[in-house]
Amino acid sequence: MKRGRPRHDDILTPREWEVLALLREGLTNEQIAGRLGISRNTTKFHLAEIFSKIGVKDREAASRWQPEHARRQGLGVLGIFSTRRLSFLVPSKPAVAALSMVAVLGLSLAGLLSMGSRPKVDLHGLLSSRQAPATSGSSSPARPLVHITGVQSSAFSTVVEFDLYVPRALAGDEVAHVSEVLLQFSREGEQVNGQVVSQKLMPEGAGLRVAVEFPTPIQAEDFTLSIGELAVVPNGGDGRVIACGLRSSARTSDFPVAAPFAVDSAAGMRIDTGYGWSYVIDAVEFDATAVRVTYHVEGDIEGLLALPPLAGDAAGSIPFPQDGTLGAVLIPAGRADHVRLVFEPAGRPIDKEVSLRLFPSGAGLWSARDLTSLIPDAAGLTVEEGEYVSIRLTAPTAYTGRGAPGNNATLTDNLGNAYRLYHGSGSMPPRHSQWDFVGPLAVGVSELSLTLPGYLAIEEGSWELLVELR
């Protein structure tokens, strides 16, 4: 299969490893998109690429796939087990690295020979007017063209609208989408990542009409829009990248920006969580389109981890800061004269070993002795036997990531067999954690011992704040 982006030494790109890690945690496409700041279509494309590269057909097979079979850099994979986008790579020895480089060069040469006339264009400065691009009398351009049609800006964000013409008409069962869209004001300005807010098929499949929101106001008269990839994903099939590195420039002189209003009474507002730490509001600003809340946390916050928001994508969700200190959110203003802020929980790592003894309870089921005394308020535990021994725990405390190989979760049986941990993960909500050990179980096993090195204690509460927009 042809691919438009440069080949990686790895079987998957860094972004695909991130998507696969979140898939293994049980997240939906929408949740993965929200966690990584990408669109649902981009998530769908990445999953199609992953399924194709590792040779599986569905999500369940992908979550069970063993990375060591792929031989990342010729030495195998520990994989990605953290929702914080951390990967653990085994360094190559010199001889193995040399062989790997030869293999990569060979694959890259094969890819170049198969690329043919795949478009890879630079449209910098090509379309800066509002006139649609000419297509030399044909219904489709010879290569993808970007036509910026409008700019909408508020005190906090900028929305760039553009038409993207494709080399051929899109079929009815194809989904085309863009990803990795960046905005840069002036040549020296910092590039800002955007979020695709709408993507519509143009009449007769000529291309896409796209709107992308960037979390920055207009900063200069000139700007450049960069599109990392244009991909086509047939419904129910594999996807392909048909262009990458697209750029176009425009001017912003016709788009004045109004100054925001500040809610002076909100600065310094504090939410005491009751766990020895607090949320503190630094500023609340708003205009006709959005409300921006900047805040920080203070107190006993060392080691606290941000968790997936319980409020989902609901307006007013204030998550624990990813960097553990400072945070900022942009909330649609609507027509309300107030905004309700919902402050999200955090997780505190607890390095306390938990050992569970599991016994068959009939009809392929297993039960854990003294489960509720060892894990308070545990809602249940299941064991699935097969190629893997999958143990799934539902409990208020989240064992998120604490079962990864670096943390040495273990599974043994009464016959003296030890089962190698393949993958450990968790997701919230719901409060599920799962550990997959390489199986199958030995014949005649009547007891299993699962030892976990620790867990995340969830620090949460009904923390809300109503702010009047005056």
381-405 confidence digits (pLDDT tens): 889 988 889 888 888 787 765 544 4
Q: At 56, which CATH number?
A: 1.10.10.10
Report the distance separating Cα 242 and Cα 143, nearest Å.
10
Q: What's the confidence (pLDDT) of residue 90? A: 33
- 290 plus 329 within the same structural domain: yes
For 461, other C-beta atoms within 10 Å of its C-beta total: 12
Q: What's the average model confidence in pLDDT over 196-220?
A: 83
359 pLDDT above the threshold of 90? yes
Q: What's the average model confidence in pLDDT over 305-324?
A: 75
- 132 within some domain: no
Q: Model pTM greater than 0.85?
A: no
Report the distance separating Cα 356 and Cα 450, nearest Å.
5
Report the distance separating Cα 263 and Cα 10, nearest Å.
49
* Token pair for 179: 């990803």
Q: At 157, which CATH number?
A: 2.60.40.1640
- 325 plus 415 within the same structural domain: no
Q: What's the confidence (pLDDT) of residue 283? A: 93
- 371 plus 441 within the same structural domain: yes
85 pLDDT above the threshold of 70? no
Write out pLDDT tens, residues 280-296: 999 998 887 788 899 99
Q: What's the confidence (pLDDT) of residue 245? A: 84
Are 333 and 316 spatial neighbours (Cβ–Cβ below 8 Å)? no
More confident residue, 98 or 153: 153
Write out pLDDT tens, residues 107-116: 344 443 333 3
- 247 plus 265 within the same structural domain: no
69 pLDDT above the threshold of 70? no
- 365 plus 294 within the same structural domain: no
Q: What's the confidence (pLDDT) of residue 277? A: 97
Number of domains in the chain: 4
- 291 plus 313 within the same structural domain: yes
The boundaries of the domain holding residue 31 are 14-115
| Percent share of the chain, pLDDT over 90 | 15
- 183 plus 235 within the same structural domain: yes
- 126 within some domain: no
- 159 plus 215 within the same structural domain: yes
Q: At 379, which CATH number?
A: 2.60.40
411 pLDDT above the threshold of 90? yes
Confidence of residue 418 (pLDDT cuts 50, 70, 90): very high
- 163 plus 213 within the same structural domain: yes
- 220 within some domain: yes
- 297 within some domain: yes
- 134 within some domain: no
105 pLDDT above the threshold of 60? no
